[in-house]
Structure 1
Amino acid sequence: MTDSDPDNWPVVAWRRQVSYGESRWAIFDCGMVRFLTRMMLAEFDGCPLGDASLWGRPGAFVSWREQRRRLVAGLDPLTGEPDPYAEMFPISDDD
């Protein structure tokens, strides 16, 4: 870090799997929020981490409050799409 403003600090990531001769450490000249956004939107040339489970998955995180709101509204808690089985198992805010 060379700047007193944390928003200007680069992200340094350790990668588990690398090709022979590559460094396990990778530096990304962006802040952490931008790094996570770019990773989840697959905006890097390749996955910057050894684990690609979040690579290109912008909807991977849904807070428990939003999941609950969707469930009560009859929507799929993770996708927000209509749940065809919602009427079979009604849930209210009181549950």
Structure 2
Amino acid sequence: MHHPLTEPARHALYHRLAARNRIWIAHCNLPALLLPLYLSAWTTITLARAVRGGGMGQTLRGMREGWTSRRTQRRRPMSWRTVYQPTAAGRPPII
């Protein structure tokens, strides 16, 4: 595999793919009841970061792309037991 050479600073492709992939990963791995909580928390955090650091347009584009194409990803949500274990250890899967 060959990755194209990019600058280490955040770039447009990073903002778009990070937003898209976050939605895909949540859709694939979280139980349906946790999806709204997780996505609303990370949407707020991501948009706040985009306002401060730039990349708002690409972030919104990535969110739209992730949301519209999420059904193309295979869904295998974790069990509630798996959700409980990191939560009990102080690392809930929401944030």
What TM-score comes out, normalization by structure 1 length?
A: 0.22
Structure with more helix by fraction = 2
Larger RCO: 1 or 2 (CA < 8 Å, sep 6+):
2
Larger Rg: 1 or 2? 1
What TM-score comes out, normalization by structure 2 length?
A: 0.22
